[in-house]
Amino acid sequence: MNEKILVFSTQKYAYFQEAFIKEKTIFEKGELEYKLFPDGESYYRILSKLQSKEAVLIGGTVSEQDTMELYDLASGLVDEGIKKLTIIIPFYGYSTMERTVKSGEIVTAKTRARLLSAIPQSYSGNRIIMVDLHVSGLQYYFERGVHTVHLYAKPLILEAARKLGGKDFVLASADAGRAKWVESLAFDLGVDAAFVYKRRSSGSDTEITGINADVRGKKVVLYDDMIRTGGSLVNAAKVYKEAGAEQIFVVATHGVFPNGSVKRLEESKLIERIIVTDTHPNARAAAQKTDFIEISSISDLLIQAVTSF
């Protein structure tokens, strides 16, 4: 690869830009100017020369403002003549509304995919890389010839589970919905898999009625793709503990951790430690405040994905 790839990022994902440009033989830092007007309007200016170059833009849809920043920067890169554009979205944040349940509901996962599909095409096309989507079908919401790649953080999850559980543990799920994925991971790890049975007690609440495996006297590593409020994890951990689990740990890809969730998880006294990747900036912020949260960086996996296609 003769010419270096320019790497840009949204403001909250600057840490990935720094990780990329450490690979100096492949990547070069893309220069941007940011400014906020008094009325809150954003100003962006691309300072790097882009003509006939390849670029990577890293940014997660962690809020509506961040989604629009990603859209604006990507559009600007194409308008300035970039040859090829790869957009990395470590966290695609619209998985809660990925389908309709009631008549008239709007599938924001789809409408935001349409928005990002409207980014102008670079000369060699646009590619979007996303990590551990909550629902794999989300990648097919993108339109207009955008090439999407669903990247799995499986190597990091396996490594984190081994680190926490050692050689003898049970890999568990907080609900039956992730049972097949947990079974696959457990097979690769050479350990037993477990999941809990749930029953819906009302329109919005569920109760755990049992578990499918014997965890007595064993370490349990709970896996989930995403941690938000942590309520499901605490409830599952309580059931596994009551079933005789010796210690309970958690591994996850996306640590969303909205206000108070880390405190809730830690103060439950049920979970020893949590390892998450740095796909969400909240996970990095949480890890800087407490040893309860540990980060396994996904940067090498992202770099490999960019350079291998």
Per-residue pLDDT of 158-194, as tens digits, reads 999 999 999 899 999 887 677 788 999 999 999 999 9
Return the beta strands (E) in 201-297 as ranges: 206-211, 219-227, 247-255, 274-277, 293-296
User: What are the tokens at 58?
Assistant: 């890293």
Q: At residue 203, does pLDDT exceed 50? A: no
Would you state the pLDDT for residue 294?
98
Q: Are 150 and 133 in contact (CB under 8 A)?
A: yes
Distance (Å) of CA 32 to CA 48, 59, 73, 75, 124: 7, 14, 9, 14, 23
Express each pLDDT in 40-81 by its tens digit: 899 999 999 998 899 999 999 999 999 999 999 999 999 999
Q: Residues 48, 51, 56, 59: what is their CA dihedral angle, to the nearest 10 degrees?
A: 60
- CA-to-CA dists, residue 285 to 54, 90, 120, 233, 252, angstroms: 31, 16, 33, 20, 16
Question: What pLDDT, on the 0 to 100 scale, is given for residue 231?
Answer: 87
139 — pLDDT class (breaks 50, 70, 90): confident
Whether the model pTM is above 0.75: yes
More confident call, 278 vs 104: 278
